[in-house]
Amino acid sequence: MPRIDIHTHVFHEKIADKAVQHLADHYKLGQPYPGTAADLKQKLDDAGIDKAVALCAATNAAQVIPANNWAITMMKTYPYFIPFGTLHTDYADWKSEMDRLYEAGIRGLKFHPDFQKIDMLNPVLYDMMEEAKGKFTVLFHVGDVFPPEENWSSPQKLAKILKAVPGIEVVAAHLGGYRHWPWVVESLKGLDFYMDTSSALLYIDDENLKNIMNSFPHECFLFGSDYPIGDPAREVGLVKKRLGFTDDELDKLFTRASGLIGLKG
């Protein structure tokens, strides 16, 4: 089975500089990587990764069609990328757009509530999850630098979605919630979902990491680099250093995503 990076972002060359700078400004990073298809492909090769899920998120209703057109173009152009589409709760004809993505062969959706200004408790989002069930893998950015009760997304809000829409195939980015790690176990333990390692292992403290790793089955963890914020090779090194997996568990971490709805070939 292919080794897969479940969490990357690839931008059209015309907007890559602007999009990458937006990420850097929001997360107060130094200069991230270029965010282009060619650069990511080279970094995947360097890390021994075969394929990457390429994510996008429409920050308003007007961006839904262009973002999804780019996803469809990527699917046709780059065999080593697996693009996910996106929706926005302000986009009225979202059911038809979901149908268009499905007919084009795309089986994944990405939501970044904090960039999209979509509260995870929005009733329209719940309707989207019901429609997506059995058809799409849904990857959510979860968490941010603010307290969870003040944030667009949080482990607590994700838990409500998982309970309200049983059977939806969800990947929670950043080990269940970027900088919301103290609440991941109490909110999500016992629920059926996946979580990726992107933008987590460089920042999470030992205590919270140990608590998460001991509270969820290893079968729910997926490898993610968060390129262009992260470098796949660096993230592979962090996985080996911090997770304490056996060689067999590491292999499954890199290949498990191939069984998701959104990645089945």
Predicted local confidence at residue 34, as pLDDT: 83
pLDDT of 23 strictly over 70: no
Predicted local confidence at residue 125, as pLDDT: 98
Predicted local confidence at residue 80, as pLDDT: 96
Predicted local confidence at residue 12, as pLDDT: 65
pTM over 0.75: yes
pLDDT of 18 strictly over 80: no
SS3 assignment for the chain: CCCEEEEEECCCCCCHHHHHHHHHHHCCCCCCCCCCHHHHHHHHHHHCCCEEEEECCCCCHHHHHHHHHHHHHHHHHCCCEEECEECCCCCCCHHHHHHHHHHHCCCEEEECHHHHCCCCCCHHHHHHHHHHCCCCEEEECCECCCCHHHCCCCHHHHHHHHHHCCCCEEEECCCCCECCHHHHHHHHCCCCCEEECCCCCCCCCHHHHHHHHHHCCHHHEECCCCECCCCHHHHHHHHHHHCCCCHHHHHHHHHHHHHCHHHCC
Q: Is the dihedral of CA 234, 107, 114, 19 positive or negative?
A: positive
Query: Residue range 63-85: average pLDDT?
Result: 96
Predicted local confidence at residue 16, as pLDDT: 55
Question: Which residues are 52's β-sheet partners?
Answer: 5, 81
d(CA 243, CA 67): 34
Q: pLDDT digit string (tens) for 96-142?
A: 999 999 999 999 999 999 999 999 999 999 999 999 999 999 999 99
* Residue 173: both structure tokens together: 């980015």
Predicted local confidence at residue 27, as pLDDT: 63
> What rounded mean pLDDT belongs to the chain?
93
Q: Which CATH architecture has domain 4-263?
A: Alpha-Beta Barrel (3.20)
Domains of the chain, by residue range, sit at 4-263
Query: Residue range 65-79: average pLDDT?
Result: 95
Q: Is the dihedral of CA 218, 46, 56, 69 positive or negative?
A: negative
Q: pLDDT digit string (tens) for 145-172?
A: 788 888 999 999 999 999 999 999 999 9
Query: Residue range 176-185: average pLDDT?
Result: 97
Predicted local confidence at residue 81, as pLDDT: 97
Predicted local confidence at residue 76, as pLDDT: 95
Predicted local confidence at residue 244, as pLDDT: 87
Query: Residue range 179-202: average pLDDT?
Result: 97
Query: Residue range 29-56: average pLDDT?
Result: 89
pLDDT of 32 strictly over 90: no
pLDDT of 255 strictly over 60: yes
Query: Residue range 197-223: average pLDDT?
Result: 97
Predicted local confidence at residue 35, as pLDDT: 85
